[in-house]
Amino acid sequence: MPKAYWIAHVTVTDPDPYALYAKGATEAFEKHGARVLARGGEVVGLEGESRPRNVIIEFDSMEAARACYDSAEYQAAREHRIGAGDAQIMLLEGV
């Protein structure tokens, strides 16, 4: 079964509620066995629009990644992110 990757590109506009999101989301990721591969750090935009915050999180499967996103824990954390920034979040199946 291929792994899955949660990829997020974010511009934070209100850091205080976003911090609450990050705390709650991290707890949800841990509960669902996720492994953070990249978060923060230097970003070099080469083509197209780039955002200052980028995250890559690995899951054992697409089902596990979807279960994390759909979980009550993540959805509660997500409420803090809404309005605290602009985000593009996707799940990508690995090879």
DSSP the chain: ---EEEEEEEEES-HHHHHHHHHHHHHHHHHTT-EEEEESS-----SS---SEEEEEEESSHHHHHHHHHSHHHHHHHHHHTTSEEEEEEEEE--
Mean pLDDT of 69-88: 97
Quick check: 9 pLDDT over 90?
A: yes
Q: What is the pLDDT of residue 34?
A: 98
Q: What is the pLDDT of residue 73?
A: 97
Give the range of the structural domain holding residue 13, as residue numbers without chain letter: 4-93
pLDDT tens for 16-72 read 999 999 999 999 999 999 999 999 889 999 999 999 999 999 999 999 999 999 999
**What is the domain-level CATH number for residue 34?**
3.30.70.100
Total domain count, the chain: 1
pTM of the model: 0.91
